[in-house]
């Protein structure tokens, strides 16, 4: 009962925060001049109000996750439950970054998706897996993997917004998107900060898997392993290219989205086939 109330509160506050910020995003105001873009916009919503609403939603989301993950049969690591957990990590990281950068506009686009993940986790269940029976190293592998997916999902979102920004810069008159997102250079710097963090977490997750999982190429794991290694390779090439060859802009966007696609096939593709199509745990 408690986790149902928490789920409802999380959805309510996430949507309230998104709607509060969304009023600015949807308003059809004329584009500001280049000089005005350097000055604070008095019509902007207050970041404190947005952070309070989203922060309450985040706390309620955490309570909801605990209630839906932990069942009388064990810990439910089903498709929808883990999706909600990943979105919780995404919101946590995103809101923490919003404390030092003006990212509330991009977070406002993400919060409704987090609310949807809570609703799906509440409505759909799958057989639980008792984590108490697993080695601590395997549990660490699972948790680090989930955190890596969350960070690299934020990378993909940033890459999409970066591509939209670059496209908007080429249009005349100046697109309003340039007003509601941080400057292009800031977005690009954030993308590579997140990529380095996500790459470190993905490397640690793979290392823990090698050490603690008996056979990473067993029949039910081979697709996940192959696509995870492919994603790692794509991200590694991108970071090497950025450091050595100065890759940025559209090249960075394409490689980021390619690595993210491989990662999603590794995790969600495998879980979707096993749980939703083959009905296997």
- Tens-digit pLDDT profile for residues 141-170: 888 988 898 899 889 988 988 888 887 777
Q: What pLDDT is recorded for position 39? A: 45
DSSP secondary structure code for residue 33 in this structure = P
Q: What pLDDT is recorded for position 33? A: 45
> Which position has the higher pLDDT, 261 or 280?
261
pLDDT band, residue 219 (cuts 50/70/90): low
Distance CA 25, CA 15 (A): 14
Distance CA 93, CA 148 (A): 11
> Which position has the higher pLDDT, 20 or 25?
20
Cite the beta strand spans of 32-182 per DSSP E: 70-71, 74-75
For the chain, percent of residues with pLDDT exceeding 90 = 29
How crowded is residue 220: how many other Cβ atoms within 10 Å of its Cβ? 12
Residue 137, token pair as written in the block: 């190293």
pLDDT in tens, 49-87: 999 999 999 999 999 888 877 766 666 677 778 888 889
Distance CA 196, CA 262 (A): 17
Q: Evaluate whether 180 touches 24 at the Cβ level (below 8 Å).
A: yes
- Domain coordinates in residue numbering, the chain: 1-24+47-122, 134-281
In the block, tokens 């609310």 appear at 115
How crowded is residue 99: how many other Cβ atoms within 10 Å of its Cβ? 9
Q: How far is CA 230 from CA 182, 260, 270, in A?
A: 31, 10, 15
Distance CA 99, CA 108 (A): 14
Own/partner pairs, 161-169, CB within 8 angstroms, 24+ separation = 161/106, 161/187, 162/187, 162/188, 162/191, 162/249, 162/252, 162/253, 163/250, 163/253, 166/249, 166/250
Q: What pLDDT is recorded for position 221? A: 65
pLDDT score of 35 more than 50 = no
Hey, which residues does 70 pair with through a beta bridge? 75
To 10 degrees, what angle do helices 79-98 and 47-69 make? 150
Average pLDDT rounded to a whole number, residues 203-220: 78
> Which position has the higher pLDDT, 237 or 101?
237
Average pLDDT rounded to a whole number, residues 182-190: 82
Phi-psi bin for 246: left (phi > 0), alpha (psi -120 to 50), beta?
Answer: left
């Amino acid at each position: 009962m408690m986790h149902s109330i928490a789920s409802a509160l999380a959805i309510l506050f996430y949507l309230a925060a998104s709607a509060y910020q969304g009023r600015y995003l949807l308003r059809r105001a004329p584009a500001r001049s280049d000089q005005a873009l350097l000055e604070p916009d008095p019509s902007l919503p207050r970041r404190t109000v947005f952070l309070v609403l989203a922060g309450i939603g985040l706390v309620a989301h955490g309570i909801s996750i605990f209630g839906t993950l932990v069942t009388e049969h064990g810990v439910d690591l089903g498709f929808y439950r883990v999706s909600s957990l990943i979105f919780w990590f995404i919101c946590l990281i995103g809101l923490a970054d919003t404390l030092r950068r003006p990212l509330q506009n991009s977070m406002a686009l993400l919060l409704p998706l987090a609310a949807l993940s809570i609703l799906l986790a509440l409505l759909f269940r799958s057989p639980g897996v008792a984590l108490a029976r697993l080695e601590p190293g395997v549990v660490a592998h699972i948790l680090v993997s989930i955190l890596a997916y969350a960070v690299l999902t934020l990378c993909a979102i940033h890459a999409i917004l970066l591509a939209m920004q670059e496209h908007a810069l080429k249009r005349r008159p100046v697109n309003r998107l340039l007003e509601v997102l941080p400057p292009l250079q800031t977005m690009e710097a954030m993308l590579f900060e997140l990529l380095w963090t996500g790459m470190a977490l993905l490397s640690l997750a793979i290392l823990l898997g090698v050490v603690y999982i008996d056979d990473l190429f067993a029949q039910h794991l081979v697709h996940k392993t192959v696509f995870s290694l492919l994603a790692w390779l794509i991200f590694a090439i991108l970071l090497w290219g950025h450091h050595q060859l100065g890759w940025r802009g559209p090249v960075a966007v394409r490689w980021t989205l390619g690595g993210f696609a491989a990662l999603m096939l590794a995790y969600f593709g495998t879980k979707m086939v096993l749980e939703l199509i083959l009905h296997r745990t």
